[in-house]
Every structure is written in C-alpha cells, then in structure tokens.
Amino acid sequence: MPPTPATRTDDELLATTDIGALLRYGLTRDAFRTALFGDGAVAAAVTLDRLGVVPRSVAYVARIVRAGGPRYAAELPEPLPSPEASALLRGWLETAAQCADTPEGETRTARWLESVAEILGLRRDSRPQH
C-alpha cells in the first residue's frame, strides 16, 4: 500500500501561493480579480502574519499607495517594521507598479492591501487568547 501523503493545512497551502503572479494578472485582467482579492489577499495575510506583521502596518502602506502609488511605496527604505517583511512587500509593490501604472491600478493595489490588512486583523482576532 502506498504511503499516505502528508496533509497540509490551508495556511501551509496558501503560503505557497505566487502572490506576484496573482498581482500581475489580477490588477490588469478582470477575470483574475476575484483570485487576487480572494486567495491572493488571504495568502498575503497568512504570509505576513507568519512574519509577525500587524494589520495597521499594512493599512498604513495602503494609505501610502493611495497617496503616492505603489512605485513610491516600494521605494520606502522600510515599508514594514522588519527587513524580511519589507523585502517581501517591496517585491509585491514593485510588481504592482510595473503592471498597474495607472490611477485605476494604484487604487486597486491600495484596495488589495486594505483587504490584506483586514484579513490579518480577522486572523489575529480569531486566535484563542492565552
């Protein structure tokens, strides 16, 4: 009998999502928008949560994107409190800047980041308190 494959949690599966690809297609094509704002936002929240990022940090970056665009936000020395999370987010912002360099694309990027921040908050609020 073949060995049973190891089971993986939803978090583990989502953490392997190619968020850059979802941004490339979801910001530019209506057909992929649901995937970006669904699985993509949850995957980004899971990934950032694992790095200890708090929701208000992501919400703050969303405000920066609304004010100056994803390219401007990507050029910040440290958009999030930790270097690892900053590097990850910077990559996402650079992808967004390349794909959606229009006012509409900038608005979508900010809305997506706001969604990620909301999901991060929901994840934190739903954890058992010790």
Q: Are 38 and 16 in contact (CB under 8 A)?
A: no
How far is Cα 74 from Cα 70, in angstroms, rounded to an integer? Answer: 6
Q: What is the pLDDT of residues 57-93, one digit of tens each?
A: 999 999 999 999 999 999 999 999 999 999 999 999 9
Q: Are 26 and 92 in contact (CB under 8 A)?
A: no
> What pTM does this model have?
0.88
Q: What is the pLDDT of residues 11-29, one digit of tens each?
A: 777 777 889 999 999 999 9
Domain boundaries along the sequence of the chain? 12-124
Cα-trace Rg, the chain: 15
First to last CA, the chain: 42
